């Protein structure tokens, strides 16, 4: 597949809604919610596209006066999974958050979604909190987070200044 990344627009609403219906059993966004995320929300949605087909999308929520971004939704079409497209999309979203001045990225993921948990862990996300009965079907979730700023490895080696 020759997928490309591009920002999502309101014109993508019908295709995003169809992808949402295929990828999620419960806790799906409605057309109205997706339209809000693509329009007036303080959010950024990026798409993986192959020609006219949308293979995946991810949405960041960005709050004014906050350096924390939230990965609010993330999915890759079933037929496009396993080839690294999820990693590419996640890297794009991390870069978008950094470019908007965020120093951390947070998310919630179904506790039974092993593929997503593995992807997030490979990208440096850490488990931060267990959330019982988080999803509409009763499934628990893991809250995860990742620092987006590189820590200075020499910071601990610098001598303290006296006087």
- Are 23 and 75 in contact by the 8 Å Cβ rule? The answer is yes
Q: Is 118 helix (H, G, I), strand (E, B) or coil?
A: helix
Ramachandran angles phi, psi of 45, nearest 5°: -115, 130
Catalytic residue among 108, 134, 135, 151: 108
Q: Does 108 participate in catalysis according to the annotation?
A: yes
Half-sphere exposure of 69 (CA within 13 A, CB side): 28
Is 91 one of the catalytic residues?
no
Strands (E) across 34-115 are located at 43-50, 53-62, 68-76, 104-110
Which one from 57, 120, 134, 151 is the annotated catalytic residue?
120
Greatest Cα pair distance, the chain, in angstroms, is 64
Active-site positions? 108, 120
């Amino acid at each position: 597949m020759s997928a490309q990344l591009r920002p999502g627009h309101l014109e993508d609403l019908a295709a995003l809604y169809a992808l949402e219906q295929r990828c999620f059993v419960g806790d799906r966004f409605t057309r109205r919610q997706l339209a809000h995320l693509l329009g007036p929300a303080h959010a950024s949605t990026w798409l993986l596209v192959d020609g006219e087909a949308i293979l995946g999308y991810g949405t960041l929520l960005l709050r004014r006066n906050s350096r924390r971004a939230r990965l609010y939704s993330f999915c890759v079409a079933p037929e496009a999974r396993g080839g690294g497209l999820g990693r590419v999309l996640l890297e794009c979203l991390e870069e978008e958050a950094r470019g908007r001045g965020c120093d951390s990225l947070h998310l919630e993921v179904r506790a039974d979604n092993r593929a997503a948990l593995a992807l997030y862990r490979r990208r440096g996300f850490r488990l931060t909190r267990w959330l019982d009965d988080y999803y509409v079907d009763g499934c628990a979730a893991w809250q995860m987070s990742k620092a987006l700023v590189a820590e200075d490895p020499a910071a601990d080696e610098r001598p303290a200044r006296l006087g």
